[in-house]
Amino acid sequence: MNKRNILITGGAGFIGSHVVRLFVNKYPNYRIVNLDVLTYAGNLANLKDIENAPNYIFEKADICDFDNMLRIFEKYRIDSVIHLAAESHVDRSIKDPFSFARTNVMGTLSLLEAARGSWLSQPQSPKRKTQTSNLFYHISTDEVYGELKFDNTLFTEETKYDPHSPYSASKASSDHFVRAYKDTYNLPIVISNCSNNYGSYQFPEKLIPLFINNIRNNKPLPVYGKGENVRDWLYVEDHARAIDTIFHKGKSGETYNIGGFNEWKNIDLIKVIIRTVDKLLGREEGASEKLITYVTDRAGHDLRYAIDSSKLKNELGWEPSLQFEEGIEKTVRWYLENQDWLDNVTSGDYQKYYEKMYG
């Protein structure tokens, strides 16, 4: 297997850390460069188990810093990018859309230009001629497609874009830039759009870890509207496997949807979490349902998302490995068994440490 120099952006975050871990452990002949600016959602504690691996390097950097991106591409002879770095919380995007446009649009553009300058504008050196082909792999979201009705329709790779939040609009824009670089500059690209992820190391502003933590501490469980919005849930390690599959087997220029074939109404999902946490904490089943508190619905809250992953399954052979009940119990156990991690993230102490260490 030829050695590759792969830049994974956002590798200290939730999904990114799982992707970094998979690639570092599975491909010892690859050099994995984890680039993360370490915002509130980036935590190197997510990667303690592989931080000393010989094929792993961490770079603290902002993807919007174009000159620094050029330096990193040159320093490590980057031949491929797996781009996960993004602002991703819808509520935050409603309050601060500028930061989402900056990171998700301008940051992606900065990386695209660095890749173009490194791969297409420079004469090939003897070392570069021996490397495998370049690839810019952009990770996106199903939210760019808008919303579905409560019927049997699913998002496919042909679904028209119809974003409804500043977050989804910023991701849609970045997707368009990636495709434009393929058409304009012949940059080799691939895009995947995934459904909601769950699993270990997720920042506890997101529904599942937030509610696990709140149940543990007997705090209210805020449910938007009547809790009738539907989401398709994907176990994060299955997503990392899908990214691995697409990176190695996907066709350049193609888009692949990644979903869990696993739709749940928010309120039904919450009740499953409650039953699971109560059981594992030795409480009476359903005792924590009294913590449910209905709150005013989020602005522009999409009714339903559901992904059709048939293309990925039929063409590349990927499918989810876990049933949801198995995955959610595994996830709940992880958070309950790693309360130090959860408390450290919730308190923000980890950020103070990184500020001292990296400035």
What pairing do the DSSP bridges indicate for beta strands 230-235 and 263-265? antiparallel
Task: Report yes or no: 238 and 320 within 8 Å, Cβ to Cβ.
Answer: yes
Q: What is the 3-state secondary structure (H, E, C) of 37-52?
A: CCCCCCCHHHHHHHCC
DSSP state of 103: I
CA of residue 16 relative to chain centroid, distance: 6
Task: Report yes or no: 227 and 296 within 8 Å, Cβ to Cβ.
Answer: no
Question: How far apart are alpha carbons 117 and 181 in whole angstroms?
Answer: 12
Q: Calculate the alpha carbon distances from 254 to 16, 29, 48, 189, 357 in Å.
A: 21, 26, 34, 8, 40
- Looking at the DSSP bridge assignments, the partners of residue 140 are 193
Considering 142, 147, 237, 329, which one is annotated as catalytic? Answer: 142
Q: Calculate the alpha carbon distances from 291 to 160, 218, 233, 296 in Å.
A: 39, 7, 23, 16
Task: Report yes or no: 231 and 263 within 8 Å, Cβ to Cβ.
Answer: yes
Active site residue 74: no
Q: Which tokens is 311 given?
A: 């293309």
Question: How far apart are alpha carbons 333 and 359 in whole angstroms?
Answer: 34
Considering 62, 87, 143, 238, which one is annotated as catalytic? Answer: 143
Task: Report yes or no: 13 and 41 within 8 Å, Cβ to Cβ.
Answer: yes
Question: How far apart are alpha carbons 47 and 260 in whole angstroms?
Answer: 25
Q: Which tokens is 356 given?
A: 């001292």
Provide the 3-class DSSP secondary structure of residue 169: helix
Provide the 3-class DSSP secondary structure of residue 283: coil
Active site residue 157: no
Longest CA–CA span in the chain (Å) reads 68
DSSP state of 136: E
Considering 56, 137, 145, 167, which one is annotated as catalytic? Answer: 167
Going across the sheet that includes 196-198, the strands are 196-198, 230-235, 263-265
Active site residue 167: yes
Task: Report yes or no: 306 and 230 within 8 Å, Cβ to Cβ.
Answer: yes
Catalytic residue set? 142-143, 167
